[in-house]
Structure 1
Amino acid sequence: MSNELFVIDNGVPGPQPDTSKLIDIGPFFDRFGAAKMAVLTSADVGVQAIIKDAQVRKWIDFNNPEVSTSLDYIMSKVAAVTPALKASILTTPVNASENLAVCKLYFS
């Protein structure tokens, strides 16, 4: 994102928010790669609750510790989600195409 000022709801300019750790919902689930379908079709009620919780949000914030905790839970229920996959999901930098909707809809 640029260093341009971001105008908040009251019309007062403020600093552009850091969106580097925010990811759109679809790209978040895409990061599961080959394990995505195993996660999305899991019969575990906890996994389904995490999926539903993610779907009602505007974005996933990798700075939120609940994201890591949720991935730990999914990993305990879906064998295809490994510690290496979790690390990749959380540490791969969010590229512009992965948070395009967030930036256009909320921060432009």
Structure 2
Amino acid sequence: MDETTDPNAAPSLRQGRSPREHLKRAAAVLPMVRPVARYVPKNPAFLLGAAAVGLGFLAWRNRERIRRTAAPLIEDARVRGIALAQRLPRRRQDEIGA
């Protein structure tokens, strides 16, 4: 059994792509990245923006898993908030509601 038909092989090898082809793709992207890379030392906001976009992308891809994880925490906070509001003196509740 060779690398391209081995079910336990890395995904890139199962698809018939060699590691060299991945390097060629990375080299093809470099001309697009170089102009931005020149300005990063002068303006680090490029890195901050890229990090924000990357985190946003990851959050979007994992939004269902994040929702499942956060739902119990949000529900618990809602219940505690309601309980705290009910324990406040009546006068203070009127101020909050108004």
Compute the TM-score of the two structures, normalised by the length of structure 1: 0.21
- Choose between structure 1 and 2: higher helix proportion: 2
Larger radius of gyration between Structure 1 and Structure 2: 2
- Choose between structure 1 and 2: higher strand proportion: 1
Compute the TM-score of the two structures, normalised by the length of structure 2: 0.23
